[in-house]
Structure 1
Amino acid sequence: MPASETLSSRRFDGIADDFFAGEVLHRTLGPQTGSAICDVACGAGSLALSFADEYPARLVGVDADPSMLESFRKLAAERSVSVETARAATEELPFPDASFDLVVSLFVPHRFQDAARAVGEMARLLRPGGRLAVIGPQSHQDSARRHALAEWVGRLRSTGLRVLAARGGQPESRTGLPVTRWLVIGVKPLGGGAPTCR
């Protein structure tokens, strides 16, 4: 395969990952009107922007790569959507505790140096009753699929979140290309007990 086709394939894969993930999340979470939403490891921001039509109170994208944040800002401007961005690693998020109603993240291994610490940081950002949703590509091997899902359930529980949903085999097909995802959603208890990892 020519190098240009390989590069094009990688670019499409990144775009497709962000685009497809929104379908499963919206189907599971429901409307987010009035919510403060943070997309961690947002890439070009397609997942975050998939919430724009639901009129969130605040829409924030975080990524360690400044070029991804620039792409996110450009895409938001093209759609006339007001967004905030922050350059940060997933393990050191630059927001106070209890800043968001919903934190979402499309899990891509190279964006997470320490997944357990990243989950702790994302949980820390949640307001009481807030939800953390992590979604990832599903392996075609049953044992790998069960392992990934169980790992993420454990990570959310270790921060004090109550797991609301843990599902594998979530199909997406909005663009006509079938993709299967796993999804884990946790909620921060209303009683407080803010998880910390600092």
Structure 2
Amino acid sequence: MSHGPRDPLHDALPGGEPDTVRLRDAVPDDAARLARIWATGWHDGHDGHVPAEVSRHRTPQSFVDRAPGLVPHTRVAVLGGDVVGFATTIGDQVDQVYVDASARGTGVAAALLADAARVAAEAGHAHPWLAVVPGNARARRFYERQGWADEGPFDHRVEVAPGVSVDVPCRRYRLTAVDRSPAAARLVGTDAGDA
């Protein structure tokens, strides 16, 4: 009997084992999956909200070409052996957060965002930031629910091709406090050595 949508952060499998999301560092073999999740999620949130030149350059191959460069800065969410989302943190910026459509609304994005903030804080950046296009209302609401504050508009310079950049109007969101409590740390499983 179903009691609503599954919550992979808390549901149990029939054998009683928790069906938990595990967060781990990305590895080179994850690049193809990152590219697929990134391409789909990027177009879902950006098409119609960024300059046409940016969308024109965001072909499936562009994500395949760029995904290996994300790996050293990326943590992935794994559910049932499959990568279902990722967050990329570079310095004080949470640069990318994307979740496969099958895992949206399950808490995976919140776990990835909290983990990215933790990664930034551990690198000495207590108040990480991220950019979001104004028209991506779903993402903006999500970030606000997670405690990120809208600091206002700015032009985010985005490389669309080698040596070619475009200014994209964005909103800058900043986390005002990082939750380092033991309860927050237990939100998801983390592979040994990856914390």
| TM-score normalised to structure 2 length | 0.37
Whose relative contact order is higher, 1 or 2, with alpha carbons under 8 Å and at least 6 apart?
A: 2
Instruction: Please tell me whether Structure 1 or Structure 2 has the larger radius of gyration of its CA atoms.
Output: 2
| TM-score normalised to structure 1 length | 0.37
